[in-house]
C-alpha cells in the first residue's frame, strides 16, 4: 500500500504533511483576486459555495489574458464550483481550457490531463475525455451502481474525482449535452465549510492522520465493459498500474487559496490509517455525515442543455441526483494538480481568514 511521503511545495519539510517531491505545486504563495472578472455579471446561489456567470463564454475565455484566467482559477477554488450556461464548445476546446487553467493555477510540471482507467483506447473524443453516461453506467456498473449494492441512500454517491490516484484531480469540468425532461441535478458541498465546522481538538487530531482511497471496483467494471484497464501513465508519472489506491492526508491544504479542507469521500475513502477499524468507521461516518447532512454547505445545480460546471476537487464533493430514467450524458475533463498535502503551519481556515 502506498504511503504519504513528506515534502512538497517550496516550504520546508517540517511544515508539510503528505505530498510527493515530483508533484509539488509551483505556487510559492496562494493566488489573489485582481478583480478582472467583475466586468461579468455573476451571482452566488448560496453563501457557502457556488458562483454562476450567466453570460460568460468559454470561447471568449480562451482568448483572454493570463490574469483573467488566474482570477477564474482563484474564483473556482474559493467558491468551490462555477457554473457557465449554454456553452457552444467542443471536446478539444474543453481540454485546451483545462490545461490552461491548471497551468496558470500552478500545477506541477509533471501533471497534465487525467486519463481515466476505464477510458477506451482510441476513443474518438480522445483519452482525456470521460463520457459521463447513464446508459454506460447501466452496462458497466459505475460508482453509483457499485454503491447501490450496499446501500439505498442516494447520498452514498458523494465523492471527489479520482482520489484513488497518487496525484488526483485539482479541477474538473463537465458539459452536459443530453438531459432527461426533469431530474438529473448535481449537488456540490464545500470542504472548507466542513473543516470550519470541526472543533479545534478534532481538527488537530485529524491533521495527524492519513486515509486510504481505493477504486478496485473499476477492475470489475473494466471486465463488465469488455475493455482492458488503462495501466499506462494516467496524466502523471505517479498515476499508473492497476493498484488504483493511494494514501492522502485527511486534512488537505489548497495551494490556490491556502485554506484547509476535509479530504475524505464516500466514493473512494475506505480507511483512516493509524487507528483501529472501529475508530476509522466512526470517524469516517461522522465526516461523511458532515457532508450529507449540512444542507447549508451545499449547492444544487439544475442543468440545461450545454451548461458547464467547473469545480475544485481538492475542496469539494459532488453527487448526481439519479431520479430519472431517460438518457443523461456529458463530457468531463479532469486536470491533475499536486499530490495532496497539509501545510501544517500555513494552512488556514477559510472562515477565520475571511472573518465570517
DSSP string, 144-159: HHHHHTT---GGGG-B
- In three-state secondary structure terms, 120 is coil
Q: How many angstroms separate the CA atoms of 62 and 154, rounded?
A: 37
Q: Is 96 a catalytic residue?
A: no
Torsions phi, psi for 19 (to 5 deg): 85, 180
- In three-state secondary structure terms, 27 is coil
Task: Please state, in angstroms and as integers, the Cα–Cα distance from residue 75 to each residue in 50, 165, 312, following that order.
Answer: 9, 25, 10
Instruction: Evaluate whether 179 touches 329 at the Cβ level (below 8 Å).
Output: no
Q: Which three cell numbers stand for residue 70?
A: 488566474
Q: How many angstroms separate the CA atoms of 93 and 87, rounded?
A: 11
From the list 20, 248, 318, 328, the catalytic residue is: 318
Q: Residues 36, 37, 42, CA angle at the centre, nearest 5°? A: 155
From the list 100, 116, 127, 161, the catalytic residue is: 161
From the list 20, 51, 252, 332, the catalytic residue is: 332
Q: How many angstroms separate the CA atoms of 303 and 83, rounded?
A: 10
From the list 70, 100, 116, 159, the catalytic residue is: 159
Q: Is 159 a catalytic residue?
A: yes
129 Cβ neighbours under 8 A, 6+ residues apart = 91, 94, 95, 119, 123, 331, 332, 333
Q: Is 60 a catalytic residue?
A: no
Q: Is 161 a catalytic residue?
A: yes
Instruction: Give the count of alpha carbons within 13 A of 61, CB side only.
Output: 26
Which residue numbers are catalytic?
159, 161, 318, 332
Amino acid at each position: 500500500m502506498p504511503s504519504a511521503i513528506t515534502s512538497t511545495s517550496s516550504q520546508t519539510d517540517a511544515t508539510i504533511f503528505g505530498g510527493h517531491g515530483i508533484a509539488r505545486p509551483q505556487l510559492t504563495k496562494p493566488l489573489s483576486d485582481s478583480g478582472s472578472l467583475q466586468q461579468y455579471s455573476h451571482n452566488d446561489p448560496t453563501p457557502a459555495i457556488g458562483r454562476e456567470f450567466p453570460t460568460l463564454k468559454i470561447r471568449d475565455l480562451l482568448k483572454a489574458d493570463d490574469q483573467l484566467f488566474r482570477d477564474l482559477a482563484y474564483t473556482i477554488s474559493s467558491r468551490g464550483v462555477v457554473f457557465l450556461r449554454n456553452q457552444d464548445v467542443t471536446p478539444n476546446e474543453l481540454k485546451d481550457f483545462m490545461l490552461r487553467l491548471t497551468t496558470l493555477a500552478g500545477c506541477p510540471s509533471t501533471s497534465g490531463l487525467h486519463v481515466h482507467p476505464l477510458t477506451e483506447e482510441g476513443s474518438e473524443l480522445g483519452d482525456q475525455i470521460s463520457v459521463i453516461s447513464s446508459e454506460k453506467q447501466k452496462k458497466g456498473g459505475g460508482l453509483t451502481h457499485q454503491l447501490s449494492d450496499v446501500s439505498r441512500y442516494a447520498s452514498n454517491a458523494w465523492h471527489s474525482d479520482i482520489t484513488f490516484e497518487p496525484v488526483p484531480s485539482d479541477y474538473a469540468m463537465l458539459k452536459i449535452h443530453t438531459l432527461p425532461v426533469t431530474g438529473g441535478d448535481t449537488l456540490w458541498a464545500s470542504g472548507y465549510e466542513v473543516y470550519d465546522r470541526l472543533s479545534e481538538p478534532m481538527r488537530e487530531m485529524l491533521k495527524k492522520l492519513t486515509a486510504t482511497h481505493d477504486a478496485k471496483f473499476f477492475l470489475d467494471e473494466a471486465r463488465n465493459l469488455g475493455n482492458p484497464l488503462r495501466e499506462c501513465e494516467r496524466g502523471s508519472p505517479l498515476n499508473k498500474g492497476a493498484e488504483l489506491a493511494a494514501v492522502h492526508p485527511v486534512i488537505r491544504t489548497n495551494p490556490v487559496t491556502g485554506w484547509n479542507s476535509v479530504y475524505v469521500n464516500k466514493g473512494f475513502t475506505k480507511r483512516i490509517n493509524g487507528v483501529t477499524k472501529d475508530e476509522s468507521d466512526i470517524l469516517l461516518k461522522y465526516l461523511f455525515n458532515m457532508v450529507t447532512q449540512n444542507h447549508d454547505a451545499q449547492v444544487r445545480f439544475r442543468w440545461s442543455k450545454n451548461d458547464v460546471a467547473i469545480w475544485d476537487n481538492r475542496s469539494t464533493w459532488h453527487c448526481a441526483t439519479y431520479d430519472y430514467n431517460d438518457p443523461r450524458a456529458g463530457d468531463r475533463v479532469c486536470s491533475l494538480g499536486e499530490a495532496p498535502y497539509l501545510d501544517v503551519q500555513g494552512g488556514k481556515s477559510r472562515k477565520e481568514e475571511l472573518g465570517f
